[in-house]
Amino acid sequence: MKLKLRVWICAVALIAATVITFLLSAANLEPTVDDPEYIIRQAEDRLNHVYGEFGAGGDNVDILIKALIRLTKHSSGEELVAKWPPSGETKRSGTGERPLHVEIAQKLLRDRSFNVAENVEVLIKLGKTLEKSVQKSGVGRNESGEAFRDETSREVYSDGSRRLDEGEANSGFGRYPEFRLNDEIVTAFSQHIASRMDTHKRLRRIGSMHLTYQVHKGKKLHNWQLWQNGIGKKRLYDGTSPLIDELLKDMTYGRITGMSTMADYGTQIKLVFKYDDKSQALFKPMRWRRDQERDPNLFYFDDFERHHAEIAAFHLDRLMEFYRVPPNVGRFINITADIEPFASKSFLRTLFTSPAGNKCFYGKCDYYCDSGHPVCGKPDVIEGSLAAWLPFTSKLVKKTWENPWKRSYSKFRTADWEHDPDYCEEVKVTKPYNNGRRLLDLIDITIFDYLAGNQDRHHYHTFKLFGNNSSPVLYDNGRGFGWIIYDDRSILTPLIQCCEIRFSTLVKLMRFETGPKKLGVLMAESLNRDPLSSGPNGLILSDGHLKALDRRVSRILDTVWDCVRRNGITKVVLDDGI
Instruction: List, by residue number, the catalytic residues.
Output: 456
387 has binding-site annotation: yes
CA dihedral (466, 467, 470, 475) positive or negative = positive
Using only the alpha carbons of the chain, give its radius of gyration: 27
For residues 84 and 145, give the distance between their C-alpha atoms in angstroms, rounded to a whole number: 19
**Hey, which residues does 359 pair with through a beta bridge?**
353
| Other CB atoms within 10 A of residue 226 CB | 15
Residues near 457 by beta carbon (within 8 Å), at least 6 away in sequence: 403, 405, 406, 445, 449
Complete DSSP assignment for 392-407: --TTS-EEEEE-TT--
268 has binding-site annotation: yes
Question: Which helix (H) or strand (E) is 189 found in, with range?
Answer: helix 183-206
- Report helix angle 543-567 to 519-527, nearest 10: 140
Residues near 561 by beta carbon (within 8 Å), at least 6 away in sequence: 182, 185, 188, 189
390 has binding-site annotation: yes
549 has binding-site annotation: no
Residues near 461 by beta carbon (within 8 Å), at least 6 away in sequence: 398, 399, 400, 401, 472, 473, 474, 475
Cβ(186)–Cβ(513) below 8 Å = yes
For residues 281 and 227, give the distance between their C-alpha atoms in angstroms, rounded to a whole number: 13
Cβ(322)–Cβ(447) below 8 Å = no
3-state DSSP of 462-524: EEHHHHHHCCCECCCCCCCCCCCCCCCHHHHHHHHHHCCEEHHHHHHHHHHHHCCCCHHHHHH
What three-state secondary structure class fits 278? coil
Residue type, 468: N
Cβ(360)–Cβ(378) below 8 Å = no
284 has binding-site annotation: yes
305 has binding-site annotation: yes
Q: What number of CA atoms fall less than 13 Å from residue 178's CA on the CB side?
A: 12
Question: Which helix (H) or strand (E) is 331 found in, with range?
Answer: strand 328-334
Residues near 142 by beta carbon (within 8 Å), at least 6 away in sequence: 94, 148, 171, 172
155 has binding-site annotation: no
**Hey, which residues does 484 pair with through a beta bridge?**
none
* Phi, psi for residue 573 in degrees, rounded to 5: -95, 110
Binding-site sequence positions for Mn(2+): 305, 476
Binding-site sequence positions for ATP: 268, 284, 305, 387-390, 476
Binding-site sequence positions: 268, 284, 305, 387-390, 476
